[in-house]
Amino acid sequence: MPFINYAHREITCKLVYYGPGLGGKTTNLQYIFEKTSPNAKGKMVSLATESERTLFFDLLPLNLGTIRGFQTRFQLYTVPGQIFYDASRKLILKGADGVCFVADSQEARYDANIESVRNLLQNLKENGLDFTSIPYVLQLNKRDLPTAMPVDELTRALRLKGEPVLEAVAPQGIGVFETLKSLVRETLARLRAGAPA
């Protein structure tokens, strides 16, 4: 549920990047961090292992300006994709206002994508979040790799409810802001509709 502070006229939304290990979630946030002007972002916090795998989460606070007189802030989180960090994933997903699923387009990661989607649905449910109504976008990342599966095949397998599908090459920034904008748009539309998260 978005946090609305009427006294300070601020709205804070939590957006979570979810998906299989090494799919590119952290890379999305790093690119956004690099390309965002200093006055619009806070510190990026990353809790990672020495090999850069996300250990608990990454957090990037963004300030996207004013909407109807309210300062609108977004807190971007990534979950750790490695299977055994499920308790952390569930905790990070708690209270999410929007979710981006970052799929790894490589054929060898097909099963990992499917398993991660299933895990997302389970953890949403366990957090009392309704998948049918939560703002949601699907990013097909690693489109630069020769082993990437065709977009229509991946879309058929991973698209669950007619959500926007965005192609990306996260380290090059391709599709990164398009994905964020799409998710922000979905999230604000939900907020305007006044629906409970």
Ligand X SMILES: Nc1nc2c(ncn2[C@@H]2O[C@H](COP(=O)(O)OP(=O)(O)OP(=O)(O)O)[C@@H](O)[C@H]2O)c(=O)[nH]1
**For binding to ligand X (CB under 6 A), which residues are involved?**
19, 21-27, 52-54, 78, 80-82, 141-142, 144-145, 169-171
Partner from Mg ion, ligand X, none binding residue 111, C-beta < 5-8 Å depending on class: none
Amino acid symbol at 151: V
Closest distance of CB 62 from ligand X, Å? 18
Partner from Mg ion, ligand X, none binding residue 98, C-beta < 5-8 Å depending on class: none
Query: Closest-CB residue for ligand X?
Result: 81
Separation in Å, CA 13 to CA 111, 126, 177: 31, 20, 17
Each residue 43-62 as x (binds Mg ion by CB under 5 A) or -, in order, gives -----------x--------
Closest distance of CB 78 from ligand X, Å? 6
- Listed in sequence order, the DSSP H helices in 71-194 are 86-93, 110-126, 151-158, 176-193
Q: Which residue has the tokens 């055994």?
A: 84
Contact call for residues 100 and 58 (beta carbons, < 8 A) = no
Amino acid symbol at 65: G
Handedness of CA 59, 138, 105, 170 (dihedral sign): negative
Given the complex with ligand X, which of 2 and 17 has the nearer CB atom? 17
Binding site for Mg ion (CB under 5 A): 25-26, 54
